[in-house]
Every structure is written in structure tokens, then in C-alpha cells.
Chains A and B, each alone.
With several copies, the nearest count.
Chain A
Amino acid sequence: MPYEVQTPVFEGPFDLLLHLIMREQVDLYQVPLVHIVDAYLAELERLDVVDLEVATEFLLIAATLVELKARRLLPGRDDVDLDDELALWEERDLLLARLLECKTFKDAARALAALGDDAARSWPRVAGLEERFLDVAPDLLAGVTAADLKAAYLRAVAPKPTPTVSLEHLHMVRANVADAVAELVDELPRVGRISFRRLTSSLIDRLEVVVRFLALLELFKQGLVDLDQASSFGDIEVVWLGGATADGDGDEFDAFDIGDDLVTTALAGIDRYDG
């Protein structure tokens, strides 16, 4: 099936992927792989070469798509490594979560723009004081010295913002499922039963929450926790079934450890933010 990927300027990889999936209502797996990759490469070429961050993100998602697609095209095999499988699901879910988030804010932005357009049809009065009140008005320059003025001028003409190498990149999501599992195995035996909301209340970044959730699913699969969601969109109740201590978790998680590299690879999108 001929598929023309007409890409307007996309704001990022999620944007492009969202576009590919939503616009044409096309099943990505019917699109020849080469077209998807081409679309991404075309985007890559548009990018400022210096912005490695964005380029990496594009590549990561392109690679994920290729893997997802390759996996889906393969006939069902019995010898599929479960950890591979799990890693791929996790990757897909992360991608899905991010796409949903992207879509949510896209629509929210549209609504804000509409609000702004409405508001712009009504001009506020800004004429200010009539002359007769100007004498009453306090002197705005009271207490301002010539030196203050000079300082203000230097501030105004100084390059902004100060070109420091941003350290904010260092403060980034540090999360992978393996670590999250380890944390949970440490924490859950002590609390026994806890709601997911409380379990994640200290986490700021969405991805950290997502990763915790994936870690819980992993524990659930291994029969170490029970999960219960009373109503859809309701809070999820987490119950530890794995016994009183977390000793010997190394044994229990052999299967997981084998897949550790894969999980790490799968979550490269998160690890990347480690700085």
C-alpha cells in the first residue's frame, strides 16, 4: 500500500508518531517499515545537528517502532524469551503513556488558544490616571539613586539568560524497572497493604510513576503482590503476598535479572535523562 508520509514540521518524536497513528487511522504495521524509518530520518535531517537530545529521542522511537513492528510480523514462537517479551511490553506502554500525554496536552493547548482568542476580542481599559491625579500619585522614583539606575541598565543589556551549562539536565528522572522492583521489594513487606497513589505520592515525574507501575505488574506476575482496582479510574490497592522479609530476593528475581539488560535497554528513553 503506497503510503505518503507528509510531515509538516513536527515538534518532536511524539508529535510525529501521534500524527502517523492518528491522522491516517493507519495501522502502523501495514505501512512498509522503510516508510516509517524514512519519515523519521527525514525529520532527523531537519534537526539542528547540535541538538543531540532531540535527535536521540527520534532515533530511540524509530528503533522502538522497528522492533515493535518486527516483533509483530514474526509468527508466534513458543520459545520467545519472556523477559524480551516483557521488556517490549514495557517499552510499548511507556510509548503509549507518552503519546497519550502528548495528545492530552495538544488538545488542552487548543482549548487554551480558543480561550485566548475569545478573551482577545475584549480590550481592557488601560488609560490610567487623569492629569489631575498625577500630583497625588506617589513618586515612583523615590529612593532610586543614579547608581541603581546604572545597575538596572547593566542588568537590562546583559546577555540573558546567563549562559551557564544547565545543571538541570542532571536532575532528571532516574528510573528503571529493575530498580523500582528492588525498591518495592524492600518497601512493600514493611507496609503490607498500600494504595498505589500513596505508594507513588513522593514521585514527581510521571515516568517514575509509570515505571513503578510496571514494576508492580512484574511483581504481580510473579505472584508477590495482589492488585485490586475497585472501580475503573479508582485507586489501586496493593497487597504484599511475598512473605515477611525481602531476604533472598536475588534468588526470586533470577528470571528478572536475566532480562535486566533488556529492561535497561528498553528504558533507555528514561535513562537518557540521567544526564
Chain B
Amino acid sequence: MTTSAVHRAVEAILLVAEEPVRPDLLAQLLEVPTSRVDEVCDELAASYRDSGRGFILSRVAGGYRFQTAPDLAPYVERYVLEGQTSRLSGAALETMAIVAYKQPLSRAQVAAIRGVNVDGVMRTLQQRGYIEEVARDPGPGQAVLFGTTTLFLERLGLDSLDGLPALAAFVPGPEVMEALEAGLRVTPDDRSLTTDAEGEDDDGSEDAGAEPGVGRGVVDLRDE
């Protein structure tokens, strides 16, 4: 198979595919090494980009697929009237984020983090196909453990879970930690009760620095 024949065959297969096509499958069908497939797809993607096509070739959920160029969304929307997925609620998004970053984990573990019952939200996410049962806790009770699905990756435009932004980036910074700690101070401090957060002096910041071991330790652990 000559170079351009591989390019053409990849284009043809991706045109009829209804889901992202894995590079190893393309390699098998076209009898070329997987690395060649990746090369070819990179070249195709670049050529569409360079010639300003209305579609792009992107890598999503472990495979390649054709998609419309994002800037043309206004036109595509006029044509695609239905099939718009309704947006997730804030609660559903937070629950999904927990599952995404902590998977596999049980419903009870999600509930412990959220501080509320999550049965309904988890069921919704499961019905929408964003999360699924992936295993059973080997421990007593054999709780069902959940993880995210391929559809989840597709909907977020991610190639794999590695593409999730690092959770560490969202761990609250020192100023938030301080604000939270200040809000939960146990002991009366020396300052007047009417002094607000801006009024903090060196003592105040050292105070904040004196106890954070516990808080930081926890953040650290959570990062693992």
C-alpha cells in the first residue's frame, strides 16, 4: 500500500465509522504498523487544518474520528436541531468529577465526599451513560464500584483519563485554606472580634501557619 493509499483508506473508514476508531484496528485493517496509522492521522489532521476545512480529524476516547470545526458551531446548530444533550446540573457535574478523579469508588464513598445522598444523581449519570459499574469492592458488603465511560471521554473531548486536568490544580490555594481555617477557628484569638480578615498582621499569618499541618496533610493525601 502506498503512502497516499493509506491516507485515503483512513479517510474512507473514518467517514463511515460511528464511533472513534482505534489506531490498532486501523493498523490491522490496512496492514500497516500502528505507528504509521498515527503518523497518517496526524498528517491528515494537519492538512485539514492548514487548508481550513470545515471538519477536523481529532483523537477522542482512544480513537480517531471526524468532527466539525468548532468555530462553525453556529451553522451546524442551525442544521442539527435535535440531539442536543441537555446540560448536567451542578450537583451532577460535581458528582461526575468525583467519580472521574477517584474511580473506581462506591456510591457511599461519593456520598461521603459530597456530604449528601447521591443515589439519584448517580442514577442519572448512569442512565446518561457517563458512569457505569466497573467492579465490586472485594471487602465486606461487596459495594458496587463506579467509573467513567467512553461516552464520558467523548463528551469531554478527551483521548483518555490522562487528559483530565490534574486534580492538584484545583486544590484550594493558601488564601482559601486560610479563609476556611479562619472561618473555623477554635480558640479565641487576641484580635478584636470585629477585626476582619484584611486586618491580619504578622501574628495572624503565623497563626495560620502554625496549624496548617493538619489541613495540608490532608490535601497532600488526597492528591496521592
The answer to whether A and B belong to the same complex is yes
Name A's B-contacting residues (CB within 8 A).
11-15, 20-22, 25-30, 49-54, 57, 68, 71-76, 85, 88-89, 92-93, 95-113, 115-116, 118-130, 132-134, 136-150, 152-157, 159-173, 196-197, 200, 204-207, 209-210, 213-214, 217, 229, 232-233, 236, 273
CB distance from B35 to the nearest CB of A (A): 25
A to B contact number (C-beta, < 8 Å) = 386
Task: Answer whether A129 and B91 are a contact pair too, CB < 8 Å, given A100-B177, A112-B100.
Answer: no
Q: Which of B23-31, B37-45, B105-113 contacts A (4 or more CB under 8 A)?
A: B105-113
Q: How long is the Cα–Cα vector from A125 to B139 in the complex, in angstroms?
A: 32
Q: Point out the residues of chain A lying under 8 angstroms from B15, CB to CB.
A: 123, 125, 127
Contact A138 B86 (CB under 8 A): yes
Q: Point out the residues of chain A lying under 8 angstroms from B158, CB to CB.
A: 115, 146
Interface string of B103-137 (1 = CB under 8 A from A): 00111110111111101100110011110000001
B8 interfacial contact with A, CB 8 Å: no
CB distance from B173 to the nearest CB of A (A): 8
Interface string of B55-97 (1 = CB under 8 A from A): 1101010000111111101001100110011111011111111
Q: Point out the residues of chain B lying under 8 angstroms from A88, CB to CB.
A: 186
Contact B170 A53 (CB under 8 A): no
Contact B114 A12 (CB under 8 A): yes
Contact B164 A150 (CB under 8 A): yes
CB distance from B219 to the nearest CB of A (A): 6
10 residue pairs, one from A and one from B, having the closest CB atoms = A171-B141, A119-B157, A163-B217, A12-B116, A21-B183, A153-B97, A156-B94, A138-B86, A152-B97, A121-B70
Q: Point out the residues of chain A lying under 8 angstroms from B96, CB to CB.
A: 109, 112, 141, 149, 152
Contact B16 A72 (CB under 8 A): no
Q: Please, how many residues of chain B have a CB less than 8 angstroms from a CB on the other chain?
A: 112
Q: Point out the residues of chain B lying under 8 angstroms from A163, CB to CB.
A: 175-176, 179, 217-218, 220-221
Q: Point out the residues of chain B lying under 8 angstroms from A154, CB to CB.
A: 167, 170
Q: Which of B17, B157, B222 contacts A127 (CB 8 A)?
A: B17
Contact A27 B183 (CB under 8 A): yes
Contact A149 B97 (CB under 8 A): yes
Q: Point out the residues of chain A lying under 8 angstroms from B194, CB to CB.
A: 30
Q: Point out the residues of chain B lying under 8 angstroms from A73, CB to CB.
A: 188, 193
Q: Which of A122, A169, A214 contacts B73 (CB 8 A)?
A: A122
Contact A140 B88 (CB under 8 A): yes
Q: How long is the Cα–Cα vector from A229 to B119 in the complex, in angstroms?
A: 39
Contact A71 B93 (CB under 8 A): no
Q: Point out the residues of chain B lying under 8 angstroms from A145, CB to CB.
A: 156
Contact B65 A144 (CB under 8 A): no
Contact B16 A123 (CB under 8 A): yes
Q: Point out the residues of chain B lying under 8 angstroms from A137, CB to CB.
A: 80, 84, 128
Contact B217 A119 (CB under 8 A): no
CB distance from A144 to the nearest CB of B (A): 7
Which residues B148-163 have CB closer than 8 A to chain A?
A: 152, 154-158, 163
CB distance from B75 to the nearest CB of A (A): 11
Contact A147 B155 (CB under 8 A): no
The chain A residue sitting closest to B130, CB to CB, is A141
Q: Point out the residues of chain A lying under 8 angstroms from B114, CB to CB.
A: 11-12, 14, 102, 156
Contact A68 B91 (CB under 8 A): no
